[in-house]
Amino acid sequence: MNEDHLDEKPEAAGMAGFDFGETPPVAGKGETQAAYRVLARKYRPSRFADLIGQEAMVKTLSHAFELDRIHQAYILTGVRGVGKTTTARILARAFNYELPARDGRPAVTRPTIDMPELGVHCQAIMDSRHVDVIEMDAASHTGIDDIREIIDSARYRPVMARTKVYIIDEVHMLSKQAFNGLLKTLEEPPDHVKFLFATTEIEKVPITVRSRCQRFDLRRIDANVLATHLAAIAAKENVSVEPEALALIARAAEGSVRDALSLLDQAIAASADRAARAEDLRIMLGLADRTRIIDLFEDVMAGRIAEALRALKDLHNSGADPGQILVELAEFAHFVTRLKLVPEAAQDVSITQEEHRRGAEFAKALGMAVLTRAWQLLLKGVQEVKESPRPLASADMILVRLAYAAELPTPDEALRKLASGTMETSPASSSSGVSRGRTNAIGGGGAVARAAESLPQSAPRAVADQAPLLRLGRFEDLVALAAKNRDIQLKLALERDVRLIRFEEGSIEFSLAPGASVQLAQHLMKRLQEWTGQRWMVAISKTEGAPSLKEQAAAKEKDARSGVEADPLVQSVLAAFPGAKIVDVRSTAAPEPTADMVETNDEIAYADQIFTEDDL
């Protein structure tokens, strides 16, 4: 827990909590100014109106204060630098906001979220030196003894403020015993006590603690909002920063305001007396030039592996980290994929017009399978580079792997080539990797040399557009195909439950026999697509169809039996042998072999099995 500042004026301690600001440091000989305050502290929000990117939380808290429904404990979670501790201090200020009556203005004596000016206790709370607002770092105070101090002191009313507030940062670091010791006080605290918890790892906080708190998830700050915020701060500091440099900072900060302000501080110092440029930022951050990253992406996708390896070496010599280069390649592959799927969703102030233009060209020229495969290879490659003793060599091999993988056909292309017998059995011998493959549509200088429609689109294409692997001319062929593929349950269902109405290539319509499974159509559609390579439309109609194959066979057998029973010779045999009956009627002609005569022992074993929805 924080201690009172030793340099605080003794006479100020007993002035009913009125804050007179920090005691200025004693200037030594030749000193004329105070120590420099970093931007992250100088521009730390002091009101809810100053918070950026957390509108949902601010709105909820505003309504809670207006309705006087203020909770006893809040837990704030989110990544580093999004304002958890800052929000906790603003809340502590709101709990204890007081203003004396002045110039006809009424006094403020109740908690409020509207704080247009500093109140009696505000400055001390913001400086983390108020006696009734106790901040504790749980990373260094993890035990039950630290929590016992809180429990014991919570019984006493605040010294100067209206509410005693306990702010526990990184609360997930508390031990199990400390959490258990806090539970009772957290559930039923005195009326004058509020708890504010902050954590980056909410899943490590026991559910028993979370259930006693109101939880707010602080969002990462959007790059557009963050870049605008940085531009406003740069203007206040009277420094010039290129818009592209601000975009780089916003992207590198990954939604953290503190990280962004620290990078801006560093960029201003690096640029000295001139404008902070994007080129300076790239050198400072170890980033590669975005244009050169796109050129490298183009070389890899076009199979120009020699040029790609030279470009990687040049980027490394200019200070870019090999792992970071692969990360940026993966980010660009993701950006191109988003442009391909949802063009309007890829608008971002951190993306330059050149990136948009060239990204759109790649989105038109490259198929979805190529982009997703590039993403997977780059994602695995980043981890390989991190673990490799020679990062640059590992990055080289990953680019080689990516370039040659681009030559592989997509699954739908492989099916078409297998069906037509044009599939190559040996890898391409071209030294340029994919120079004669599908990604050769990317030409030099960033222009797409071939029209987008010349590239096979590997996004999910209707299978009906492909050449079917085999054709079925009649319903009996379908039954024979099910038997050939040893799907005995489906074969029996087709024979017993399907009353055919219409059968065409790619389409079948039928009604169901009583007791048939309603899932038969879906199951049949799936199997037909697997077996034929063609999408079939399978419809169940309420119109009564023709008798099923089993019903037709039963009718033929009945007709044959009736004809045999009417034969005088058979009647005389039955009369001569009382109790005899006709078991089967067989033709003396040898049957012609058909596809239906593939019945196996498995079919016999399944002959009496009932076809149900669970079987499907």
Contact call for residues 193 and 72 (beta carbons, < 8 A)? yes
Cβ atoms within 10 Å, residue 589: 6
Q: Which residue has the higher pLDDT, 446 or 330?
A: 330
Q: Please report the pLDDT score of residue 5 as a whole number.
A: 39
Q: Sorting pLDDT into bands at 50, 70 and 90, what band is 309?
A: very high
Q: Please report the pLDDT score of residue 587 as a whole number.
A: 66
Q: Please report the pLDDT score of residue 19 as a whole number.
A: 42
Task: Please give the domain boundaries of the chain with CATH numbers for all domains.
Answer: 10-22+34-217 (3.40.50.300), 223-285 (1.10.8.60), 290-424+431-461 (1.20.272.10), 466-616 (no CATH)
Contact call for residues 267 and 276 (beta carbons, < 8 A)? yes
Contact call for residues 260 and 362 (beta carbons, < 8 A)? no
Ramachandran assignment for 286, one of left (phi > 0), alpha (psi -120 to 50 degrees), beta (any other): left
Radius of gyration from C-alpha coordinates of the chain:
38
Whole-angstrom Cα distance, residue 338 to residue 407?
A: 23
Positive or negative, the CA dihedral 128, 132, 138, 143 is positive
Range name among 171-175, 450-454, 497-501, 545-549 with the lowest pLDDT average: 450-454
Whole-angstrom Cα distance, residue 7 to residue 5?
A: 5
Residue appearing with tokens 């809670």: 64
DSSP letter (8 states) at residue 302 = T
Q: Please report the pLDDT score of residue 210 as a whole number.
A: 93
Q: Please report the pLDDT score of residue 460 as a whole number.
A: 41
DSSP three-state, residue 133: strand
Contact call for residues 123 and 19 (beta carbons, < 8 A)? yes
Is it the case that residue 31 has pLDDT exceeding 60?
no
Specify burial of residue 7 (Cβ count, 10 A radius: 0-12, 13-18, 19+): exposed
Is it the case that residue 608 has pLDDT exceeding 60?
no
Range name among 90-104, 238-252, 427-441 with the lowest pLDDT average: 427-441
Q: Sorting pLDDT into bands at 50, 70 and 90, what band is 520?
A: confident
Give every CB contact of residue 613 below 8 A, 6+ residues apart in sequence: 517, 518, 519
At CB < 8 A and 24+ separation, what contacts does 114-119 make?
115/47, 118/19, 119/93
Q: Sorting pLDDT into bands at 50, 70 and 90, what band is 456?
A: very low
DSSP string, 426-482: S----TTSSTTSGGGGB-GGG-B-S-GGGSPP-S---GGGSPPSS---SHHHHHHHH
Angle, helices 290-301 vs 322-341, to 10°: value is: 80
Q: Please report the pLDDT score of residue 419 as a whole number.
A: 65
Whole-angstrom Cα distance, residue 81 to residue 258?
A: 5
Q: Sorting pLDDT into bands at 50, 70 and 90, what band is 599?
A: very low
Q: Which residue has the higher pLDDT, 482 or 281?
A: 482
Range name among 104-118, 192-206, 416-430, 464-478 with the lowest pLDDT average: 416-430
First and final C-alpha spacing in the chain = 64
Is it the case that residue 592 has pLDDT exceeding 70?
no
Residue appearing with tokens 């319509």: 509
Q: Sorting pLDDT into bands at 50, 70 and 90, what band is 77?
A: very high
Contact call for residues 345 and 414 (beta carbons, < 8 A)? no
Backbone angles phi, psi at 304, to 5 degrees: -85, 75
Whole-angstrom Cα distance, residue 509 to residue 238?
A: 76
Is it the case that residue 237 has pLDDT exceeding 80?
yes
Q: Sorting pLDDT into bands at 50, 70 and 90, what band is 544?
A: confident
DSSP letter (8 states) at residue 48 = G
Q: Which residue has the higher pLDDT, 461 or 192?
A: 192
Give every CB contact of residue 255 below 8 A, 6+ residues apart in sequence: 79, 82, 219, 220, 221, 222, 223, 226
Q: Please report the pLDDT score of residue 575 as a whole number.
A: 78
Question: Stretch 592-611: mean pLDDT, rounded?
Answer: 42
Across the beta sheet with 507-512, the strand order is: 498-504, 507-512, 537-540
Q: Please report the pLDDT score of residue 436 as a whole number.
A: 37
Q: Please report the pLDDT score of residue 403 as a whole number.
A: 86
CA atoms within 13 A on the CB side of 241: 31
Tens digit of each residue's pLDDT (9 = 90 or more) over 407-417? 666 666 666 66
Q: How many residues does the chain have?
A: 616
Q: What percent of the chain has pLDDT over 70?
A: 77
Is it the case that residue 125 has pLDDT exceeding 60?
yes
Question: Stretch 149-175: mean pLDDT, rounded?
Answer: 92
Is it the case that residue 311 has pLDDT exceeding 80?
yes
Q: Please report the pLDDT score of residue 435 as a whole number.
A: 39
Angle at 269 between CA 268 and CA 274, to 5 degrees: 60
Q: Which residue has the higher pLDDT, 23 or 414?
A: 414
Angle, helices 305-317 vs 391-405, to 10°: value is: 150
Whole-angstrom Cα distance, residue 614 to residue 616?
A: 5
Q: Please report the pLDDT score of residue 163 as a whole number.
A: 92
Residue among 220, 207, 141, 215 nearest 180 (CA): 207
Describe the chain by its helix, strand, coil percentages, rounded to 5: 50, 10, 40
Is it the case that residue 541 has pLDDT exceeding 60?
yes
Tens digit of each residue's pLDDT (9 = 90 or more) over 184-207? 999 999 999 999 999 999 999 999
Range name among 59-68, 246-255, 276-285, 542-551 with the lowest pLDDT average: 276-285
Range name among 55-59, 188-192, 363-367, 386-390 with the lowest pLDDT average: 363-367
DSSP three-state, residue 503: strand
DSSP three-state, residue 158: coil
- Maximal C-alpha separation, the chain: 140
DSSP string, 208-234: HHHTTSEEEEPPPPPHHHHHHHHHHHH
Is it the case that residue 423 has pLDDT exceeding 70?
no
Range name among 31-45, 85-99, 143-157, 479-493 with the lowest pLDDT average: 31-45
Q: Which residue has the higher pLDDT, 360 or 463?
A: 360
Backbone angles phi, psi at 413, to 5 degrees: -65, -40
User: Average pLDDT over the chain, rounded to whole?
Assistant: 78
Q: Tell me which range, 366-375, 445-454, 585-594, is most confidently predicted by mean pLDDT.
A: 366-375
DSSP letter (8 states) at residue 345 = G
